[in-house]
Structure 1
């Protein structure tokens, strides 16, 4: 039976809540699979609401006058979270009360970022005479990254006193802004002709000379001193720890976080100049190394160095199916490098794509919680030995759902929604690759070399979406706090927001507006196989048709050969990211689940997950913000023979066979202990004409199936719980300002 409309809540007349007439499928109350009966805890009884505060017009308890939740009728407080270990309970503590949002605000002076009154970058020697690799013959005229201006004005050396990261106090020193201009190097990428960034395994196989120069260059920048602003240490540190300025002058900074704009509508655009910064360093370093060859080898390797671009790891490619690239899983690699007299010699070196080795204990001192780890690892064992094979297996287990989610991201009706959908996939990959290593922490993930291959693919998807839907772009949305922007300033992020700390050739800040249209990547001298440099002079419609055909070829799966309408099934996982401290994941399992999901969360039955990366400490809370991810159920339903069945059979099946688990900082956590974590199952009609030069589109709004989730811990009972979710402080937020047109169906 189908009903239009959605349940609504009028705060001033709570007693008149509309009852949505839904004929739910009879189900047996579903037990919390994460607890045995002996461990079951009681949920507090519902508090009745009898009055509305005349001053605030908010429902309050008639005795305590404490505001109450309009759906659950419980006091608006943040529920203490109890985490469980095997056989014992460990109480972590109470997560604040009303008015405490995220982390206690650090004490800062008025934000004062460096003035935009910068002169042209005369400090930077750009090898403008280098037009093609063959014409570049005088290496002495090139200024290597190590020879850029000495550590910039206002720079604090690594190994400074680590800022406090407790729940109750986060302090930061502030410096007095001066009128002096810091030295800086503009982020412009390579400075020759446009070359495509390639998939890492294809690059290794088809252009071994370029791959050789890439490896040599990356190895060199990993071995530069920590003070080298274009070395691996400082470039990686821009993202998070060690929370120091990068080419910015004195000012007041939030030293509890890095520059990265996680959870923002400018997440994808901020990473574009960030990737360019590394690519710029790799390119110039490769040129410098190639110049030390002699004779014919110099010509050969200068040409290869001129092609050096940052490669990507396509974790949704149907051929490699999310497995880690083999080159990222071996500790050594054979290269050809200049020997005595510049003659090429073969050598085995530490593989810079496998791990990064820190220079000294002082390098890792500010990198909590890895202060005493001198190298990056994936799935490390007790002896800190790398187990990238487990990371690869975890990634592959989520491939079928991931490729569908990637395809569906291109069907987004707004750029903000696309950015959120891609970031959701991106977050889960960080979790799957980490296994207790650096990739699971916002503060230190960029030190793992695979971070850059991962984010290069995010940039590639962004370029493909820009090509497919050139008229969609960033809409203003609430901003997120970063190192350069304290979060309580009432921030709004839009296309003109400064992408600190990156500057352009004229000294101005990079902004998202500089990353649109898609042709701007060609101006930065790179393209992708789906947005190739060779299309620079061709009509935009040719590029669009080509990109669409590539999206279909890579991610569409078995498309219908004739026009058809299908139903796309998803489960939405949603939470205010500030409700749980540290890092956590909400997992969805279908049909079955691992016997021990806490030690093997990506095992049998894994369908997808919502991941919230730790900022660096299990005690640190993130800025209050609704985050969600849509996990595709299509592949799961096909595997069990239900995809395409009638709605009743599907909803009856997933009611009985979908399972959910929360793991917070390596321990179990439970939905009934959380106020904002929600689960919702919905479907949408998708029309596909089957043509290679067009993509499907949603031909209906969402159908939410409250009967599937209403008896599941964390499941929604009313559709407004997912469309207008409640944050930890009791206010509501519409995530990404979605078009909330929906229907409830049984």
Structure 2
């Protein structure tokens, strides 16, 4: 982009004119107030900001930062920011839907290939953008150094988990789309228009791991699992390494990464096996299939909980301490189990928070989490980010700092001069150039219908003839719609996120263990530490079967997989890092695993008289068991610090119409007897420590590490204006967004 300057006289005149306009507006506004000092202060602030904004542009040069804009359809302005005038937003599609458009699918893959191949020193390389999430614990996009802590930038276990990932995904999409445009420029000139047409509405896809793919399709699409893929390049059709299968650092892992799983294996792995070292994507698919009903139920229950967006978005226990509908689960907690399942107890990269972003499946997964959180905004439109604290040391923040919707989402700048995005800035995804199919109408009813269609617990009414068809391939009951008199039951789990190195997963079963068809399940009295952590660890030195795309077919034996047991309910994951956390300052999380669908199946077969708690509690006391597995094998749950389980239930209020959702917001009651004989199942009430819950007078200021523009009078340190809470690096984005109540009334009416 050309770097040019404006004539000094024009800039001076613009400054004066803009200041005069600001003065007029501020004066008219202040006329309604009686506090003279405040009025004069506001006018002066308007003038100062006006002059400062134009003086920054005076030289005409582009600022030192790369602005996060997502896909900018209108091009950049002369100072480097995306031009908002006339900007169009287009939908991010589910990966299987995107594949139906051959040209867009081709560009998506070729863009990923080029993006991943960029030099590691390039700020817009896959290596650098994936690396800012966790390792290699270095700076990015001129973020001030040294970092506050040797840690990544991602605020897991905090109230800004959901909103922080929104500009992060947009930055990734922006860098990938740049690679797409470079790919198009490499085609012959007479072919480029075809590809530009395809790219004009292209956005990166998501992978919906909870929906029924239908038609016998796998839960994990083969497009993510095939090592090789066929694409169209300028020379014609060729086969390339599938960029959705893995990422490679090269011949060895860079030293700055500080080590990685599998002896610093330089290619990302999923549920890896040895001899030779490789991903076991067949087991990934099987495990994702075994938890799909559970994931579906969790998503549906979250939407029906009607809790605030701030509570539903985070697993941080400081906002999840009561027994109302706001206290049992979160989208972040759901997110964790997908990480654990894809990475696997054998130590794949998704299993460790600090290296997970290098696996391409991470981005498909997180885009789906952003989609669900966006959809949820229309269910509870007048709620947003909750006040909360940073629970552990991070690259940009220290533990204990308070954050809210106006806090800068460091390190993502909304312009080239270093003003940070805030959660409030990105409340509408169209600010970043995209939306999701279910939010195209911006309406409660559109989202509610989509949630029921995609995640409702079985729309068919059972009869004696077709009852058996309401089971999946491993014998799990698929569920039925919630009705009057039903109770919703969950296994509630409190856990320390970083209790150990790596992650750990809770696997729940309901049924008589003696009648189990699996030889790998165990009840709570089994000895610990002697279980096989992976479903299958082959001993052969070389695989014997591959399909046409190079996928190995004999890595997985369903008969050895305990998650194929018909008694299996699902998995609950606690995603950790490669190192354990500080035991004296644990990061406590909370979430739940729905039991309702499984209990419906037990009722259908006559094992359970009803779903009323007076029948369910004694049944679970006799028939529910669970196991906890980490990368070290099976663990005695009673030895895990701060780990507790309980069964809770509340009464269901069925949906009033097809445009509505059931209501699961009623207070929960604890069924103490259900877990009385299970490890870590005794009655427990968490008492929040001061650092877990922001005080009413919490200080939201943030000093020191502010992006901005060089202040030569301050030794070249970076300075920037403050927001209303005093935190640096803030410059508001003015938006007009209409939110509506569930009945369609405009917010505020």
Answering whether residue 267 of structure 2 is matched by residue 375 of structure 1, we say: yes
* Alignment counterpart, residue 450 of structure 2, candidates 521, 545, 550: 550
> What's 1:679 paired with?
645
- Asked if residue 442 in structure 1 is aligned to residue 353 in structure 2, the reply is yes
Match of 2:336 in 1: 427
Q: CA deviation at 1:735?
A: 12
SS of the equivalent of 2:629 reads strand
Q: In 1, are the aligned partners of 2:625 and 2:678 still within 8 Å (CA)?
A: no
Q: Is the 8 A contact 1:189 1:524 kept in 2?
A: no
1:491 CA drift (Å)? 1.2
2:665 and 2:244 mapped to 1: Cα distance?
44
Residues 223-234 of structure 1 aligned to structure 2 (within 5 Å): 223-234=117-128
Residues 34-80 of structure 1, C-alpha deviations (whole Å, 9 max, x = no match): xxxxxxxxxxxxxxxxxxxxxxxxxxxxxxxxxxxxxxxxxxxxxxx
Alignment check: 8 A CA contact 2:446 2:659 kept: yes
Who is 1:484 aligned against?
Answer: 395
Task: Name the Cα RMSD after superposition.
Answer: 3.5
**Structure 1 position 575, deviation (Å):** 2.0
Given that residues 379 and 391 in structure 1 are in contact (C-alpha distance below 8 angstroms), is that contact kept between their aligned partners in structure 2?
yes
Query: Is the CA contact (8 Å cut-off) linking 1:195 and 1:525 kept in structure 2?
Result: yes
1:528 aligned residue: 436
Structure 2 match to 1:495: 405
Q: Distance in 2 between matches of 1:293 and 1:699?
A: 55
- Correspondence 1:284 to 2:191: no
CA distance in 2, matches of 1:574, 1:188: 46
User: Would the aligned equivalents of 1:364 and 1:372 in 2 still touch at CA under 8 Å?
Assistant: no
Aligned 8 A contact 1:401 1:634 in 2? no
Count of residues paired in the alignment: 550
Alpha-carbon distance change, 562 to 415 in structure 1, aligned in 2, over 3 angstroms: closer
CA distance, structure 1, for counterparts of residue 651 and residue 658 of structure 2: 20
1:573 equivalent in alignment to 2:493: yes
More helix by share: 2
* SS of corresponding position for 2:254: helix
Question: 1:499 Cα shift?
Answer: 1.2
For 2:221, the equivalent position in structure 1 comes to 325
Q: 1:563 to 1:385 in 2, by over 3 A?
A: closer
Q: Distance between the aligned counterparts of 2:310 and 2:66, measured in 1?
A: 38
Query: SS of the counterpart of 2:154?
Result: coil
1:308 to partner: Cα distance: 2.5
Question: Structure 1 residue 362: deviation in Å?
Answer: 5.0
Q: 1:459–1:236: structure 2 CA closer, same or farther, 3 Å change rule?
A: same
In 2, the alpha carbon distance for the partners of 1:185 and 1:616 equals 38
For 1:527 and 1:448, how far apart are their aligned partners in 2?
Answer: 24
Alpha-carbon distance in 1 for matches of 2:397, 2:267: 31
Scaled by the length of structure 2, what TM-score is found? 0.67
Q: Does 1:405 align with 2:405?
A: no
Deviation of the 1:307 alpha carbon: 2.4
Name the SS of the counterpart of 2:573 in structure 1: strand
Q: Give, in angstroms, the shift of residue 646 of structure 1.
A: 3.6
User: 2:158 aligns to what?
Assistant: 264
Q: Is the 8 A contact 2:391 2:692 kept in 1?
A: no
Task: Please list the CA deviations of residues 200-222 of structure 1 after superposition, one character each: whole Å capped at 9, or x if unmatched.
Answer: 011002x1111111111110011
Give the whole-Å Cα distance in 2 for the aligned partners of 1:562 and 1:200: 30
Matched, 1:614 2:576: yes
SS at match of 2:425: helix
Are residue 357 (structure 1) and residue 248 (structure 2) matched?
A: yes
Q: Residue deviations 1:277-300, cap 9 Å, x none?
A: 111012122122212323442111
CA drift at 1:460: 0.2
For 1:157-179, what per-residue CA distance to the aligned partner results, in whole angstroms no more than 9, with x for missing partners? xxxxxxxxxxxxxxxxxxxxxxx
What are the superposed Cα offsets for residues 227-265 of structure 1, whole Å, 9 maximum, x if unpaired?
111111111101100000001344342454210111111
- The whole-number CA distance in structure 1 between the counterparts of 2:84 and 2:631 is 38
CA distance in 1, matches of 2:66, 2:635: 54
Structure 2: distance between partners of 1:431 and 1:495:
29
Q: Could you tell me whether the CA contact under 8 Å between 1:190 and 1:284 is conserved in 2?
A: no
Q: For residue 23 of structure 1, what is the aligned residue in structure 2?
A: none
Q: Which runs of 5+ in 1 are unaligned?
A: 1-115, 144-183, 340-344, 738-746
Question: Displacement of 1:682 after TM fit?
Answer: 0.8
Aligned counterpart in structure 1 of residue 114 of structure 2, from 186, 211, 220: 220
Cα shift readout 1:408-432 (whole Å, capped 9, x = no counterpart): 1112412232113111111001111
SS in 2 for 1:611: strand
Alignment correspondent of 2:135: 241
Please tell me whether the aligned partners of residues 306 and 380 of structure 2 are also in contact (alpha carbons under 8 angstroms). no
Deviation at 1:224, TM superposition (A): 1.1
User: Once structures 1 and 2 are overlaid, which stretch shifts more, 456-465 or 312-321?
Assistant: 312-321
Q: CA deviation at 1:473?
A: 1.1
Deviation per residue, 1:552-578 (Å, 9 max, x gap):
111122368897342111010112334
Contact kept? 1:564, 1:689, Cα under 8 Å: no
TM-score (norm 1): 0.68
**Would the alpha carbon gap of residues 122 and 218 (structure 1) be closer, same or farther in structure 2, given more than 3 Å must change?**
same
1:595 matched residue in structure 2? 519
Query: What is the CA–CA distance in structure 1 between the aligned matches of 2:126 and 2:219, rounded to whole Å?
Result: 25
Contact residue 500 and residue 581 of structure 2 kept, 8 A: no
Superposed CA offset, 1:373-430 (max 9, x none): 1211111111221211101100110111110100111124122321131111110011
Shift of the 390–295 alpha-carbon distance from structure 1 to 2, 3 Å rule, reads: same
Residue among 92, 97, 115 paired with 1:197: 92
| Cα distance change on mapping 1:192 and 1:293 into 2, 3 Å | farther
**Conserved 8 A contact 1:329-1:388:** yes
